[in-house]
Amino acid sequence: MSNPKSGKKNRIKRFIILVGLAVTLFPIVQVIVIGTVDPPTTGPRMARRIAGLFKSGEYKPNMFRWVNLGNSSSNFLVCAWKSEDRNYYEHCGFDWKEIKGAWDESRDTGKPARGASTITQQCARSLFLWQGRSWIRKGLEAYYTFWMEMLLSKERILELYVNVIEFGNGIYGIEAAAQHYYRVPASQLTREQAAMLVAIMPNPKHWDPTNPNELVLKRQKIILERSENLLLPIEINK
């Protein structure tokens, strides 16, 4: 005769295994899908929309317009590449040299380690996850980053990246940012405008590209110097 307690334990084990498989495989399926399907929304955009339902006062809807990589902004791509992830085309999602440099700098100065997130990592959290810092989010970010680099091309990651990055309160993607701040499509952004948008990316809710403070102006100047006379090392099809 079977033991009821033993049967219950086996069912619990099978349930745990199934849940573990689902949690493990779901991100992989998501990454496979976005390889060919433009995502209709993102984690941060969904979270902001839900939060707006519970806030009093006027809620400003999310601003977003999808743009293909070839029609985004070559100026922005070059500025973001040289400012946010200069080794983008050499690493596989994690820039270990930058990470080590950040930790060494933190150890020598006693200050918190500066960010060393790659474009792929930024894209992963801006697409699938949520704002804020926690070890859970960092772990998920690393998992998504690994599979994005395994399953997607660098060009596709860049295309997703320019469409999910936040440029202000509820402003998502380079097309929405270009039209909101400069009244032009992303493809017509000047180098100065593109560098300014990259400059505010670390703190988009508090930095305004149309009214920059001294720190933002300094960041813009550095970005322009780094990206001068540079072209992307890949051909972008329009």
Give the tokens for residue 87. Answer: 């080794």
Question: Could you tell me the pLDDT band of residue 121, with boundaries at 50, 70 and 90?
Answer: very high
Question: Could you tell me the pLDDT band of residue 70, with boundaries at 50, 70 and 90?
Answer: confident
Once rounded to an integer, what is the mean pLDDT over residues 102-120? 68
Q: What are phi and psi of 202, to 5 degrees?
A: -65, -20
pLDDT value of residue 73:
86
pLDDT at 56 over 70: no
| Beta pairing class for 166-168 and 171-172 | antiparallel
> Which pLDDT tens digit goes with each residue over 1-13?
456 666 667 777 7
Residue whose structure tokens are 């809620």: 59
pLDDT value of residue 125:
92
**Domain boundaries, given as residue ranges, for the chain:** 35-227
High-pLDDT (> 70) share of the chain, %: 85
172 three-class SS: strand
- How many Å from the N-terminal Cα to the C-terminal Cα in the chain? 70
Q: Are 187 and 72 in contact (CB under 8 A)?
A: yes
More confident residue, 174 or 236: 174
Q: Are 59 and 52 in contact (CB under 8 A)?
A: yes
More confident residue, 113 or 236: 236
Looking at the domain covering 35-227, what would its CATH class be?
mainly alpha
More confident residue, 117 or 59: 117
What is the rounded CA–CA span in Å between residue 160 and residue 34?
A: 9
What is the rounded CA–CA span in Å between residue 185 and residue 67?
A: 10
Q: How many CA atoms, within 13 angstroms, populate the side-chain half-sphere of residue 94?
A: 13
Q: In what order do the strands lie in the sheet with 63-64?
A: 63-64, 171-172, 166-168
Question: Could you tell me the pLDDT band of residue 126, with boundaries at 50, 70 and 90?
Answer: very high
Which of 18-27, 39-48, 84-93, 192-201 has the weakest average pLDDT? 18-27
pLDDT value of residue 32:
95
β-partners of residue 64 are 172
